[in-house]
Amino acid sequence: MASRSIASFAKLIALVACLLLAGSSPALAQCVLSGESVAEPNPDDPSLGAWKYTITVEWDTGTQYGLSHLDLLLALEACPNVCEEFPFAVQDTAGYGSGIDHYEEPCTLYYAGEFECNGDPSIGVAVPLVKFEPLPGASCEPDAFGAATFSFYTDWGPIPVSQPNALLALKAGPLACFGELTGELPECDGSATDVERITWGQIKSRFRR
């Protein structure tokens, strides 16, 4: 009986998130978006941070619009002074993924990454996130569907994310799309305790009215 109640609660939270997103601006695309985040002790440049987070993402916007940029919501809004205290770093090239050139041939697209503490106004999200955007000047462009891998570094250690969630977002033309992330993300005090399930108040706080 308890497991059935938990499952029902999870479905309710997912439905609430969908309803809140449906009322946000810009219009939501009927798309598929999912990803996984894996944390490991930094094997690259230790000066960038103790931990490396690698995020793999797949999408299909379901429209003629290609990916404009992708956001990773960090679920750090409850951390004290996160805007000033969160240690964040990326390489000059923060990610790469599939794209299409002017001849409609497959190509590799490279991305920049930036920590945006106040969110992404273009999709109505006002929480700390990492924005991954194609590097300018490339002849390769994102397609309406594809896959990409991104990385960033921080001294804040990993903690498992809870499901269901809406921790991934993308912009495609005038449309927005949200999806679920599995794996691990940074936790503000670095402890390895379980993440609490998303509550009604937390969901509402993630999106502007």
Share of the chain above pLDDT 70, in %: 76
Average pLDDT, integer, range 138-158:
94
Q: Are 141 and 99 in contact (CB under 8 A)?
A: yes
Structural domain total, the chain: 1
Query: What pLDDT is attached to residue 7?
Result: 35
Helix and strand counts by DSSP (H, E) for the chain: 3, 10
Q: What is the pLDDT of residues 33-88, one digit of tens each?
A: 999 999 999 999 999 999 999 999 999 999 999 999 999 999 999 999 999 999 99
The residue segments making up the domain with residue 104 are 2-205
Q: Is the pTM of this model over 0.75?
A: yes
The residue that leads in pLDDT, 201 or 120, is 120
- CA proximity to 179, closest of 45, 40, 29: 29
pLDDT class of 193 with cuts at 50, 70, 90: very low
Structure-derived torsion over alpha carbons of residues 151, 156, 160, 165, reported in degrees to the nearest 10: -70
- Each residue of 84-113: b (16+ CB within 10 Å) or e? eebebbbeeebbbbbbbeeeeeeeebbbbb
